[in-house]
Amino acid sequence: MFPPFISYLTHRQSKQYIIFYRVSNECPCGRLLIDVPSLACEIGFSYISSCGLHNEIRSIDMGWNVKNSACGRGFTLGVFALGMSVGGTSTQAHADDCVLAPLIGAAEGRSGVQPTDIVVHGNFAYVSIFSSVIDIFDISTPTAPVKVGDILFQPSYSIPFDLEIHDDKLFVAISGPGDFGDGNRTLSIFDISDPASPALISNTGNLTALSIRVVDDLVYTLEGWPAENELSIIDASNPASPVVVSTTPLPSIAWFLDAVGSTVYLFFGDTGLHIYDVSDPTSPTLAGIYTHPVVINHVQVVGTTAYIADEGDGLAIVDVSDPSSPILIGSYQTGENLRRIHTDGQTLYGLCELEEMCILDVRDPSSVVELGRHFANSYIGSAEVVGTTAYFARQGGIDIIDVTNACDTVCIADFTGDGKLNFFDVSVFLSLYSAGDSAVDLNGDGVLNIFDISLFIGMFGAGCP
C-alpha cells in the first residue's frame, strides 16, 4: 500500500497532506498532516473520534511509525487513505483512487444555525437555515464568495425547509416545529430576476411542508407533518395565484420526494419508496412500491434509476423503469449514515454522517467505487454540484469545493503514453533511471534511489485508472 500513496503525493505536487489511519487501544483513529517531499518530518497530529480534538506535534520515520504518541507509547500506523489539507478542510481517498474535493472558497452566513438546503442559480447560491432565513451568496468568484442578502420569514418559527428554482423563480417549502407549521403558508414563491434582492410573489397553503419539486408549471409538495400527511400538486403557471390541483392522503410521514416527468417518487422512512403516476395531476395513482430493508433518508431519480440513501448500508441503486416492479441493481456500503445525495448518474455526492461528503463513481451500479471524501469543520446540511464545483451548506456559511476528477487522465506509471501498463513501460522506466533522468524521480526528492523504484513497482501493480 505504501507506494501508491506516495505516487499520489508526487502526482498532486502539493505541500501538505493528511493521512487518515486507524489504530487500536486509546486512539482508535486520527489524522496526520505531513509535509512533502520530506517523508521523515514533523507532523501536526489531530485526534478525532473518541480521542476528542487535541493538537499535538509528533515525528514519523520512513516506517510510518509515530514516536512518542499521546497514548503513552509509539504505535504503527495502518494507513488506509490520504488527502490534501486546504484551509482547515481535508479530503480522503483510497490508495488506488484519486483524491477529490479541495476547498477553493468559503463564506460566512448566519452563525451557529443548521442549514436545511442549498440551491445554485447562475452566480448566486441560496441557503435555507433553521432560523427562518434564506442567506444569499454571490459565488461569481468561487475563491471569494460573499453574502449579499437574505430573506427573512415571519413568524420566527417559519422554517424554509426545501428549495427549488425554476424560470427565475425561487420556490420555498415552509415548515415549522410541533403541530403548528407556519400557520400562514406551505409554499412561498419569489422572483429572483434580481438575484440578490428576491421579491415575494405569493404564499399558498397553511400546512407545514417538508419537500418540494417543480416540473414545468406543477409544484409537488409533501405537506401536513406531523398531523396530516399528503402529496399536494399545485399549478403555478400563474405564480401570483397558484392553484391546488389535488391532494392525495399518504399512509404515513413522507420526508422527501423527487419528480421526473409524470412520475413522483417519495419515501416513508422505514416503509420504502413509493412511486406515483401523476400523468393526471388531478388524480395521482400509486404505481409501485420498492420495499427497502433499512430506513431511507433521501432519494434522487435520474432517468429510470433511483438512488437511495439510507441509515444502514449506505447507498442502494434501483431500476424503476417498470414502476410496478422496481429492481435493486446495485449498492455500496459507505460505513456511515448516508443522509442526502446529489448525482448526475455518473458521480454521486453523498453527505455521510454530519461533517463529511462521500464521492462515489456510480456509472456501473453493480460495481460502485468510492473516489474520495471531503471533511468539513462543521455540520453539512445540504450540497449541490454544478459541473465540477460542489457547494456545501454548512453550519455558519458555505464551502465551495473543486470536485474535478483527474484520475481518468493520469497514469503515472504509463511511461510509453499508450494507456496500457506492460513490459515496455518497465523498459522505459529502467532506461530513464539508468540515464539519471529526473522524469523517474517519483518521490520528488531530487535523488534517484530504491524509493523511486519501489514507487514505480507499486504504481505499476495498481494499474491505470
Give the residue among 98, 103, 101, 100 at the shortest CA–CA distance from 410.
Answer: 98
Segments in the chain below pLDDT 70: 1-102, 112, 155-157, 176-185, 206, 224-228, 269-270, 313, 353-355, 373, 375-377, 405-412, 419, 443-445, 458, 462-465
Number of residues written out for the chain: 465
Cell representation of residue 373: 471524501
pLDDT digits (tens, 9 = 90+) for 33-87: 333 333 333 333 333 233 232 333 233 332 333 333 332 222 222 222 222 222 2
Residue pair 225/269 in contact (Cβ under 8 Å)? The answer is no
Residue pair 18/48 in contact (Cβ under 8 Å)? The answer is no
Which residues are CB-contacts of 280 (< 8 A; sequence separation ≥ 6)?
Answer: none
pLDDT of residue 119: 94
DSSP codes, 254-319: ---EEEETTEEEEE-TTS-EEEEE-SSTTS-EEEEEE--SS-EEEEEEETTEEEEEESSSEEEEEE
Residue pair 257/298 in contact (Cβ under 8 Å)? The answer is no
d(CA 110, CA 395): 8
Cell representation of residue 108: 460566512
Straight-line distance from the first to the last Cα atom of the chain, in angstroms, rounded to the nearest whole number:
16
DSSP codes, 373-419: EEE-SS-EEEEEEETTEEEEEETTEEEEEE----TTT--TT-TT-SS
d(CA 195, CA 183): 27
pLDDT of residue 312: 72
Map grid coordinates 455526492 to a residue.
349
d(CA 15, CA 135): 35
In this structure, what DSSP letter does residue 93 have? B
Residue 323, preceding bond cis, omega within 30 degrees?
A: no
Strand pairing report for 42-47 and 55-60: antiparallel
Q: What are phi and psi of 451, to 5 degrees?
A: -70, -35
d(CA 410, CA 404): 13
pLDDT of residue 414: 79
pLDDT of residue 58: 33
pLDDT of residue 380: 81
d(CA 78, CA 80): 6
Count of beta carbons in the 10 Å neighbourhood of residue 123: 14
Which residues are CB-contacts of 344 (< 8 A; sequence separation ≥ 6)?
Answer: 302, 385
Residue pair 34/60 in contact (Cβ under 8 Å)? The answer is yes
Alpha-helical (H) ranges within 154-277 are none
Alpha carbon 117 to its chain's center: 13
Q: What is the pTM of this model?
A: 0.67
Strand pairing report for 338-343 and 89-92: unpaired
Q: Which strands make up the sheet holding 218-223, listed edge to edge? A: 209-215, 218-223, 230-235, 243-249
pLDDT of residue 224: 67
d(CA 117, CA 338): 16
Residue 155, preceding bond cis, omega within 30 degrees?
A: yes
Which residues are CB-contacts of 73 (< 8 A; sequence separation ≥ 6)?
Answer: none
